Structure 1
Amino acid sequence: MARKKTILKEHILETAYLVLCAEGFKGFTARNIAKRMDCSTQPIYLEFKNMDELKNELMAKVYTYLTEEVYSCPRTGNRMVDFCLNYIDFARREVTFFSSLFLEKQIDACVLHEFSFQTLVDAMNKDGKAGKLDNEEKKQVFERIWPTIHGTATMVAQGSVSFDEDEVIDILKCLLPEADFIGTEELAYSDN
């Protein structure tokens, strides 16, 4: 009679995710993941061809987390402002995880940049005023604010500056003075 699998793909992915959050990619090894699961590396290689395949599936889980739990948390009522504040707050709350994704160069920076851009565009599309901008205008907005937002998040993660939500909102207003959609008026979030 064949033995029943006790360590499933989902368990391995969840453990790999926890390792990434806690230790970054420096802890992302089959041996380290297996140690946390209290098993050998064999179950990992039975479920995944190699560590690259595990990393690819892990990144799908990370993108879901960023989209659903980080970027989309309501704060001010303005989705674009919230996106920026949430990104910086993610760097403050989850320093190792943020650093592993956005600073360690273990993931293609162009892919992460495009993911962040697309997530911001999605947020803008759900906003009545920002949603009316054409694609080129949305790209220009992103290119204008992203260096400041990413730089601020990086400095927050390093501990060289503190996160002050009101200051970030003021910075966004200065970066985009012509954009009256950069407000903090209370708006109800809907799935539009």
Structure 2
Amino acid sequence: MPPKAEITREKVLNEAFDIVREQGMDALTARNLAQRIKCSTQPIYSVCGNMDQLKEDVYNQAIDFALSNMRSYENEHNSPALNLGLGYLQFARNEKQLYKTVYLSGYKSFDLNQDKFIGEEMFTASMRHSKRLNKIDEKILRKIYLKLSIYIIGIATMINTDTIKISIDEASNMVTDMYEILLASENITRND
């Protein structure tokens, strides 16, 4: 008789992440996970405690994956902030279920008066690379970031759901135009 495969927390988390990546958060059940690992549900509960905690861990892993994915988009002609925004759009296009899990599932909600939004620190830090924004008050920078994020999320959602067909160049132009509009609304000109 072959030895039983050891069920570790890492193995369970990796398999759970793969289920969510392929099918979405709704597909993550103890039964589906057990079938995938080829075990009963008992070892899953033994190493993870409960499904709520496992889902929270998978959601956090999905956020980390999304942010890493966004950072990987590079175009030397773009600012770091624009590259992140375009990386966001690429993530929406290439990782359909993870995008839906992180941004459309309602799994976690954010009170923007109390919480930092997903990737906020990364995006605002990249915005500081712009000569126009490196000395702008933090509140104004956050306001620009949030408005731009909502715009990008709208485009990304339409890309993710195949509502629109748009090239990365077209999306880049749209995001760049909105970025300039938002800066102008705060009286931040190219000469600042």
- Give TM-score scaled by structure 1 length: 0.81
**1:21-100 aligned within 5 A:** 21-68=21-68, 70-77=69-76, 78-100=79-101
For residue 123 of structure 2, what is the aligned residue in structure 1?
120
**Distance change >3 Å, CA 80–CA 19, structure 1 → 2:** same
Unaligned stretches of 5+ residues in structure 1: 182-192
Residue 173 of structure 2 corresponds to residue 174 of structure 1: no
Aligned residues of 1:102 and 1:109 also touching (Cα < 8 A)? no
Cα offset for 1:29?
Answer: 0.4
- Partner Cα separation in structure 1 for residue 73 and residue 156 of structure 2: 18
Q: Secondary structure at the match of 2:74?
A: coil
Higher alpha-carbon deviation: 98-107 or 84-93: 98-107
- Partner Cα separation in structure 2 for residue 156 and residue 39 of structure 1: 37
Residue 150 of structure 2 corresponds to residue 150 of structure 1: no
Output the amino acid matched with 1:16: A
For residue 17 of structure 1, what is the aligned residue in structure 2?
17
Question: Which stretches of structure 1, 4 residues or more, deviate above 6 A after TM superposition?
Answer: none
**1:99-114 aligned within 5 A:** 99-110=100-111, 114=117
Output the amino acid matched with 2:138: N
Q: Secondary structure at the match of 1:115?
A: coil
Specify which structure has the bigger relative contact order, considering alpha-carbon pairs within 8 angstroms and separated by 6 or more residues.
1
**Distance change >3 Å, CA 180–CA 28, structure 1 → 2:** farther
Cα offset for 1:62?
Answer: 1.9
Output the amino acid matched with 1:156: I
Cα offset for 1:46?
Answer: 0.5
Output the aligned Cα RMSD. Answer: 2.5
Cα offset for 1:156?
Answer: 0.5
What is the number of equivalent residue pairs in this alignment? 177
Describe the superposition over 1:128-157 as per-residue Cα deviations: whole angstroms up to 9, x where unpaired: 524433311211221331222101001011
Describe the superposition over 1:84-129 as per-residue Cα deviations: whole angstroms up to 9, x where unpaired: 111111111111221122112123255897123233123324x252
- Give TM-score scaled by structure 2 length: 0.81
